[in-house]
């Protein structure tokens, strides 16, 4: 039950990240953050957040039926 809840939370987070990908609110903002344009800093943070989300999806939402290992004795 707990794993199912985590899986659905991750799916909702994936949809939220999809919607946040297009940052039209920073498109014409000339501000600099740590010497970089604010839009670039946003995309750096977005990429880090997506990498963490994808790692969590692999850990918690990966289908277990894809992990059936092949028996080595069949090939010989």
Confidence band for 51, pLDDT divided at 50, 70 and 90 = very high
Query: Residue 48's pLDDT is what?
Result: 97
Task: Give the SS3 label for residue 44.
Answer: helix
Checking if the pLDDT of 72 tops 70, the result is: no
Query: Residue 44's pLDDT is what?
Result: 94
pLDDT in tens, 3-46: 788 889 999 999 999 999 988 888 888 899 999 999 999 999 99
CA gyration radius, the chain: 19
């Amino acid at each position: 039950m707990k794993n199912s809840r985590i899986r659905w939370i991750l799916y909702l987070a994936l949809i939220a990240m999809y919607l946040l990908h297009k940052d039209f609110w920073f498109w014409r903002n000339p501000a600099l953050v740590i010497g970089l344009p604010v839009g670039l800093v946003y995309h750096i943070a977005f990429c880090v957040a997506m990498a963490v989300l994808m790692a969590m999806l692999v850990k918690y939402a990966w289908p277990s039926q894809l992990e059936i290992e092949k028996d080595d004795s069949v090939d010989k």
